Amino acid sequence: TVHRKFFTLELKEHNKKFSEDMLVICEEFEVGYQ
């Protein structure tokens, strides 16, 4: 899947390997004041 490719490339930069057992946290932020 596209997610597997993305995380494999991202983790490679940190000398880590992708695993289906990894926990992934996704967060979204909204700007409240500028």
In tens, the pLDDT along 1-34 reads: 788 999 999 999 999 999 989 988 889 999 999 9
From the centroid of its chain, how far is CA 4? Answer: 10
Which pLDDT does position 2 carry in this prediction? 84
Q: Is the pTM of this model over 0.85?
A: no
φ and ψ at 6, to 5 degrees? -60, -55
Which pLDDT does position 1 carry in this prediction? 75
For 25, other C-beta atoms within 10 Å of its C-beta total: 4
Number of structural domains the chain divides into: 1
Quick one: tokens of 8?
A: 């494999």
Contact 19, 11 (CB under 8 A): no
Burial of 34 (0-12, 13-18, 19+ CB in 10 A): exposed
